[in-house]
Amino acid sequence: MTSQASAATETSKTAEYAVARKSDPNFIKGRREYFKYIDLGVAGASQGRMRAQKTSATAGLSEPTGWHYHKCEGQFVYMLEGWLELQFADGETVHLEEGDSVYIPGFAPHNEIRTSDIFELLEFSVPADMGTEVCDPPAGINAD
């Protein structure tokens, strides 16, 4: 057996499948008080190797989240409804609409600067626990 096949077999012995139902959402506390978060069961089933959640809002950001980064391998965001704007350390502002996605490498500084009043997105991270750290804005970029 190859080492890759062996690793896959070992993972399947410890991981479980997870089913999340729209009719019975598992609301959890998230990073921002003004968003609603639904855990999709992936973190528990994968024993912390990956996280999947749905984030939604019924009122847009009143102010940017502030510059921060996540201590993880990576974060993937897929917009289901509405829009979101992110600013990155290179100064680029990325506008995401329904059907758009972005992959954010771990430790990459970014700032969520605007959202539509109503939005929904799916967010995935590896590993599940992706601590958030506040950081200074990159040189030459405003704090907000």
Could you tell me what percent of the chain has a pLDDT over 70? 90
One-letter-per-residue 3-state SS of the chain: CCHHHHHHHHHHHHCCCCCCCCCCCEEECCCCCCCEEEECCHHHHCCCCCEEEEEEECCCCCCCCCCEEEECCEEEEEEEECEEEEEECCCCEEEEECCCEEEEECCCCEEEEEECCCEEEEEEEECCCCEEEECCCCCCCCCC
Q: What is residue 106's predicted lDDT score, i.e. its pLDDT?
A: 98
pLDDT in tens, 43-85: 999 999 999 999 999 888 778 989 999 999 999 999 999 999 9
Domains recognised in the chain with CATH numbers: 18-134 (2.60.120.10)
Residue 21 pLDDT exceeds 80: yes
